[in-house]
Amino acid sequence: MKVNAYAIQEPKGKLMPYTYELGEIGAEDVDIKVTYCGICHSDLSMMNNEWGMTSYPLVPGHEVVGEVVAVGSAVKNVKVGQTVGMGWFSSSCMSCSNCMDGDHNMCDNAEATIVGRHGGFSDHVRGHWSWAIPIPEEMDSSKVGPLFCGGATVFSPIVIAGVQPTDSVGVVGIGGLGHLALKFLKAWGCEVIAFSSNPDKKEEILAMGASKVINSRDPEELASVQGKLKLIINTTNVTLDWDAYLSALSKKGKFHTVGAVLEPMGIPAFSLIAGNKTVGGSSVGSPELTKTMLDFCARHDIYPTVEEFPMEKVNEAMQHLEEGKARFRIVLKN
């Protein structure tokens, strides 16, 4: 199969038309005809090789939505004609202890959709059947793509932390990830405290489900929630006043980062010890957790807030993201 795609050849370059051949389909593989693909900040990081693991040419795109058009001889639970989504991971070994324990996203041999292979800024993409996750029929496929990376990334901490509807939870950074965390936690029943450095977003943030908006650059406002939050989800990738956020946690509270902070995090030991607090992180969830998230979204009518661009305007869309203008996720349409 010849795949028509958009690829980048070097850091800071432009995405240009690119074609490549998919070999014979594997026994456990599925081929997906891409109808929509979300854009994640991780695509930009990979394009610029910020994480040192990019191979060029690179076809980005790991929030894929499309129709299954071919299946291998050993594929299970996925059929030709189904609408499915595929996120950061496209394969895992299905036999290691992590996979057998249900943590496929922690598989040591997991294959990422845009690491060493080509992703969804294209008309077709291939992956293992376990990561081609059927989308509930009642969901709008034009908006669902960002759930497969951004959504799963912020849904996982809620489950990991065992959040209860009576809990107060903080979300740091109300962008592509943070706005989904707000929507999830509101439907969960929590009091949701949003931390944002942009006062212009306040009314929009409240409309998305925040109970209160704290100016993250104002020490007095940060102090107003001291000791109140069971969980704080950090979606930013910048260095913060870590001690101020740890102080906002309740006893036994958890600070959980999903933002890829590039600098070492300076965590004061006594801020943890005094309240039996913990700091952790996570990536996207397993296929089963992603399916659970989709069911939750279908039940509560939760979608990311998206802007749509045609696939051929992918460079304009990437510039829109890079300039910080996205409100709040971007989806490319084929």
pLDDT tens sequence across 285-312? 999 999 999 999 999 999 999 999 999 9
Q: What was the pLDDT predicted at 219? A: 87
Question: CA 263 to CA 279: how far, in whole Å?
Answer: 16
Residues 102-136 as b/e (b if ≥16 CB within 10 A, e otherwise) read: ebbbbbeebbbbbbebbbbbbbbbbbbbbbbbebe
pLDDT in tens, 6-35: 999 999 999 999 999 999 999 999 999 999
**Mean pLDDT across the stretch 239-256?**
96
The mean of the pLDDT values for the chain is: 96
pLDDT in tens, 56-86: 999 999 999 999 999 999 999 999 999 999 9
Say what the pTM is: 0.96
Q: What was the pLDDT predicted at 200? A: 86
Q: Is 147 helix (H, G, I), strand (E, B) or coil?
A: helix
Q: What was the pLDDT predicted at 117? A: 95
**Which residue is it, tokens 């749509």?**
308
